[in-house]
Amino acid sequence: MTDAASQKLDFSQSPVNRELTPERKIELYSQMVRIRRFEQVSLKYYQSGKIGGFLHLYIGQEAVAAGTVSLGGEHDHYITAYRDHGHALAVGMTMDECMAELFGKQTGCSKGKGGSMHFFAPDKNFWGGHGIVGGQTPLGLGLAYGLKFLDRKGCCLCYLGDGAVNQGAYHESLNIAALFDLPVIYVIENNGYSMGTSQKRSSAFRDCLAQRAEGYDMEWDVIDGSDLYEVRAKTQIAMDRARDESRPTILEIFTYRYYGHSIADANHKKYRTPEEIEDYKQNHDPINVFRRKLMEEGVLDEEEDKKITKAANQEAAAAVKFAEESPAPTIDDISTDVYWETDNRTEASEIGSHFFND
């Protein structure tokens, strides 16, 4: 790549972007602003002790989720790892249910049973939210298998980080995806660091991580994740390949996270220089880049921008209020959602003991 080549191309003129109405562009911009605001507010309440566990923020990577999900249709599915808030909001989950989940409340998207790393919305084709690095990659494969088996024309976008590319499950998935001609797209969100280890210290590769696709006779591409137009233009090609030819693709989207691997990652300012972080904010921040473009296009002005920011702030504040006022799960709730059969009180659930409590 292509950095140089990419800069020469104006992806705003790609067919899939030319067809965007001004309203839709504003929607996509708002989506990214909402994701960022949600994450900023999550951070605040994590630090004040209202949110438990780990918190992996998506700040800096917003164009990936917003851009790729914007291309989805009825039979396109999404699955990701633990940095999942951006994808959840992009598929249409509400800030209320997501924030309530972080707060561990009954009204959370997983009733407080999943937490930050485990958001799900199968009604929106979003299958999580998975905590084990690379563990979701065979599941994404399976969703694609299911689409093909059930004769549905669609694809599965399976997101993973650059740290996941060395997991065996991922490589097994790539082999099967190509071998079985499955409509899956592995989207490597490359933010440069697998936790605290830079890509150069964790992965053996020639030019880029996506290039490993060649070993599996699979198509691949690289994308500048700061440009929402480029994300959409190139992802569309992969999605068309999946839907029309039932062939998989690896996309590697270069992006950056402002914060540590998780908020528990106190060292993130040690393994990255302040200059590196500052350069990204100034020149590659997907929200800043898209805002500039929309203003140049005359689609967005300062006043509208302020309105969007204000609305996102209000939405996030309301979500916090909703989360705080929601009830906690009960002791009884611990034992539901374990088995489909017992939840649905089927005949099978009446036979034998399913639970073994003291």
Partner 1 sequence: MPRTLTYREALREGLDEELERDENVVLMGEEVAQYNGAYKVTEGLWKKWGDKRIVDTPISEAGFIGMGVGASMLGVRPVMELMFWSFHSVAFDQLVNNAACVRYMSGGLIHCPIVVRGPANGGTNVGATHSHTPEGLFASFPGLKVCAPATPADAKGLIKAAIRDNDPVYVMENTLLYGNKGEVPDPEDGDHVVPLGRADIKREGSDISLIAHGRSVLHALAAAETLKEEHGINAEVLDLRSIRPLDVDAILATVRKTNRAVLVDESKPFGGVSAMVATLIQDHAFDDLDAPVKRVCTIDAPAIYSPLIENDQLPSPKRVVEKVLEIA
Footprint on this chain of partner 1 (rule: CB under 8 A): 77, 79, 108-114, 118, 120-123, 127-132, 135, 137-147, 149-150, 168-169, 172-173, 175-176, 179, 336-341, 343-344, 346, 348, 351-356, 358
Q: How far is the CB of 124 from partner 1 (least distance, A)?
A: 10
Terminal-to-terminal C-alpha distance of the chain: 61
Is residue 67 a contact partner of residue 27, using CB atoms and an 8 Å limit? Answer: no
- Which of 155, 228 has the CB closer to partner 1? 155
Which is nearer to partner 1, 71 or 93 (by Cβ)?
93
- Inter-residue contact 37 to 315 (CB < 8 Å): yes
Task: In whole angstroms, give the CA distance from residue 276 to residue 270.
Answer: 12
Taking the complex as a whole, how short is the minimal distance between the CB of residue 282 and partner 1, in angstroms? 39
Residue 155 Cα distances to 72, 178, 277, 326, angstroms? 9, 14, 34, 36
CB nearer partner 1, residue 50 or residue 118: 118
Q: Is the CB of 9 or the CB of 139 nearer to partner 1?
A: 139
Which amino acid belongs to residue 269? K
C-alpha closest to that of 128 among 138, 136, 119 = 119
Q: Cα(296)–Cα(157) distance, rounded to whole angstroms?
A: 31
- Of 209, 121, 137, 119, which is closest to residue 174 (Cα–Cα)? 137
CB of 217 to partner 1, least distance (A): 14
Q: Whose Cβ is closer to partner 1: residue 132's or residue 269's?
A: 132
CB of 198 to partner 1, least distance (A): 25
Smallest separation, CB 338 to partner 1 (Å): 5
Write phi, then psi, for 84 (nearest 5 degrees). -110, 0
State which residue, 15 or 122, has the beta carbon closest to partner 1.
Answer: 122
Look up residue 219 and give its two tokens.
Answer: 């198509």
- Decide whether 217 or 337 has the Cβ nearer to partner 1: 337
> What is each CA distance from 289 to 62, 139, 226, 293, in whole angstroms?
12, 33, 7, 6
Pairing type for strands 193-194 and 197-198 reads antiparallel
The length of the chain, given as a count of residues: 358
Contact 77, 300 (CB under 8 A): no
Whether residue 77 contacts residue 155, with contact meaning beta carbons closer than 8 Å, is answered with yes
C-alpha angle 101/144/55, rounded to 5°? 25
Lookup: tokens for 271: 């393994």
Contact criterion met (CB below 8 Å) for 106 and 328: yes
Among residues 188, 194, 286, 204, the alpha carbon closest in space to that of 238 is found at: 188
Q: Provide the minimum distance between the beta carbon of 135 and partner 1 in the complex, in angstroms, as a whole number.
A: 5
The least distance separating partner 1 from the CB of residue 184, rounded to whole angstroms, comes to 10
Task: Tell me how far, at minimum, the Cβ of 321 lies from partner 1, in Å.
Answer: 21
Shorter beta-carbon distance to partner 1: residue 204 or 351: 351
For the bound state, the minimum distance from the C-beta of residue 213 to partner 1, rounded and expressed in Å, comes to 16
Closer Cβ to partner 1, 173 or 236, answer by number? 173
